[in-house]
Amino acid sequence: MMETIFLVLLLTGAALALLSVLSGLGHLGPHLPHVHLAHLPHLHGGGVHASDVSPVNATTITVFLAWFGGIGYILTAATHLPMLLIVPLAGLAGLFGASLVVLFLFRVLLPGQTPALRPEDYRIEGTLGRLTVPIAPKGTGEVVYNKVGVTRSDGARSVDGAPLPRGTEVVVLCYERGIAYVEPLDRLLAARTPPSEGDL
C-alpha cells in the first residue's frame, strides 16, 4: 500500500516538475494555459530579483514530492525498515532535492537576470546617437542610438530646423510622436564650455 503511495508521489512530482521547467520555472518565463486555484504571490515578466522569488514555489514543491516519493518507494521496496523511519528519511531526501533546486535558482539562474527597467530607462532624452540618414533643412532624417543594451533607430529632426549631415553625433533633446529632436553634440559642447582666461 505505501509503495503505491510513494510511487504516485514520485510520478506526480516528476511530471509536475517537468511541466514547471518546460513552462519557464513557474512564472519566470512564458505562460502556458493554466488555472489559479489559489492566488499566491508570483512573478510576471520583466526583471526578476532574487528578493522577489520565494524558495517555496511550484518547482521546489514538485521536486520535493518527486524526491520524497522516489526515496520512499526505494526504501519501502528494497529494505525492511519500519515506516516510522522511512517517512522521515524520505522527507529529508525531499528537502535535499528541493534545496538543490533553490541553490541552482539563486546561485545560477537569478544572478544572470537583467535587472528590472525603471520608466526613466525608456526615456531617450539625453541619449547620444549618430545620424544614419541626413536631415534636410526642416526635414526628417534617422538617428541610431543604444539604450539599455539595445540598438534602436528613430526618425530625427534638428531642433532648430537646420540641415545635419549623415554621421553627425547628436544628442536627443526631445521625443514627440515618434520623432527625436536632436542637436549636434559639438554644438552643445561648444555652448557649455566656459570661456578660457585668454578669451576674457
The string of pLDDT tens digits covering residues 38-58 is 444 444 444 445 556 788 888
Q: What percent of the chain has pLDDT over 70?
A: 78
Cβ atoms of residues 23 and 14 within 8 Å? no
Return d(Cα 184, Cα 171) in angstroms, integer: 6
pLDDT computed for residue 196 by the predictor: 65
pLDDT computed for residue 47 by the predictor: 47
Element (H, E) at 155: strand 150-158
**Alpha-helix residue ranges (DSSP H) falling in the chain:** 2-22, 58-78, 83-104, 119-122, 185-192
119-199 CATH pick, 3.90.480.20, 3.50.50.60, 3.90.79.10, 2.40.50.140: 2.40.50.140
Would the pLDDT of 25 be above 60? no
Would the pLDDT of 111 be above 80? no
Cβ atoms of residues 97 and 64 within 8 Å? yes
Return d(Cα 75, Cα 118) in angstroms, integer: 52
Name beta bridge partners: 128. Answer: 171
Return d(Cα 146, Cα 167) in angstroms, integer: 15
Choose the weakest-confidence range: 9-23, 30-44, 83-97, 173-187.
30-44
Q: What percent of the chain has pLDDT over 90?
A: 28
Return d(Cα 66, Cα 94) in angstroms, integer: 7
Q: How confident is the model at residue 114 (pLDDT cuts 50, 70, 90)?
A: low
What nine digits make up the cell of 12? 506526480
Q: Enter the DSSP assignment of 29.
A: S
Domain with CATH 2.40.50.140 in the chain: 119-199
Choose the weakest-confidence range: 27-36, 100-109, 132-141.
27-36
Q: Mean pLDDT across the stretch 119-126? A: 77
Strands 128-133 and 169-176: antiparallel
More confident residue, 92 or 198: 92
